[in-house]
A = this chain, B = another copy of it.
Amino acid sequence: MTPPPAPPRRASPSTVRRLSLYLRALDTLAAEGVGTVSSQGLAERSGTTPAQVRKDLSLFGSFGRRGMGYEVPDLLHRVRAILGLDRRWPVALVGAGRIGSALFAYPLFRERGFEIRAVFDNDPAKIGSCREGLEVRPVTELPCLIRERGIEIGIITVPAHAAQAIATVLVESGVRGILNFAPTRLHLPPEIEVNEVSLSMELEALSFALAARERP
C-alpha cells in the first residue's frame, strides 16, 4: 500500500546553497590559475567537508577523476550549468529606493548572468530618471514591459505594504521567480519560486547566538 521507497532524487536547499559556495571557490581557483582541485580542497574553501562536496556533486553526475580530483575549468562549467547560470536571466527590479538602487548598481549580478532589464517605481520624482543607462518606468507599464522584454525574475524592493500587489502583477505578467526584500510573506501560486531575503532575520540570528552564549 505504501508507495515504494520513494524516489526523491532532488537537491535539498542546503545542497543548492553549497553549490553556490563551490562556484565562488571555483571562480577564485580559476582566477588563480589552479588547474585541479580535490574535494578536500573545495571543502576547505567553502567551509564544509570533503564527503559533503562529493555527495553534493554526485547528485548531478561524476565530474572528477579518482586519484586526481576535479579539473577546475570543467567543474566550474558544470556547476554553472547545474545552477542554471549557463544562460542569461532577464530580471526586473521593482522599487528604485535605497536598497533597489544598491542592487541595481551591483556589478556581480550581471557577471553571473542576471541582467536587470527594467526598473519600476511609482514615485513621479523617480520615474524618468536613469540608473546606469536604464530609465525608471512607472509601475503601470510593468505588465507590458515584462512581457516585451521576456523577463522571468522579479526583485521586489518596495515597502512591505505594496509588496503583495506588485508580486501578483509580476506573476500575472509572466514572471516565474521572485526575490523578495520586503518583510512580508507573499501569497502566490505554488509553481512560482519565491525567495525571501530578510536582513532583520540575519541580525536576529546573530542576536540569538550572542544572547544564548551569555546565559546557559
Residues of A within 8 A of B (CB): 10-11, 13, 16-17, 19-21, 23-24, 45-47, 82-85, 87, 89, 98-99, 101-103, 105-106, 108-109, 112-114, 152-153, 176-179, 183, 185, 193, 195, 197-213
- Please determine whether A211 and B84 come into contact, CB atoms closer than 8 angstroms: yes
- Please determine whether A205 and B16 come into contact, CB atoms closer than 8 angstroms: yes
Question: Contacts A193-B206, A200-B109, A205-B17 known; A185 to B46 CB distance under 8 Å?
Answer: yes
Question: Contacts A101-B98, A114-B203, A203-B114 known; A20 to B85 CB distance under 8 Å?
Answer: no
**Which of chain B's residues have a CB closer than 8 A to the CB of A197?**
197, 199, 202
A84 to chain B, nearest CB (A): 3
A50 to chain B, nearest CB (A): 16
Question: Contacts A24-B183, A99-B102 known; A84 to B212 CB distance under 8 Å?
Answer: yes
Give Cα A210 to B153, complex, Å.
9
Q: Which listed residue (B98, B114, B176, B183) contacts A102, Cβ 8 A?
A: B98
A26 to chain B, nearest CB (A): 13
Give Cα A212 to B19, complex, Å.
14
**Which of chain B's residues have a CB closer than 8 A to the CB of A193?**
206, 209-210, 213
Give Cα A20 to B196, complex, Å.
13
- Please determine whether B85 and A207 come into contact, CB atoms closer than 8 angstroms: yes
**Which of chain B's residues have a CB closer than 8 A to the CB of A209?**
16, 177, 193
Nearest chain B residue, comparing its CB with the CB of A155: B203
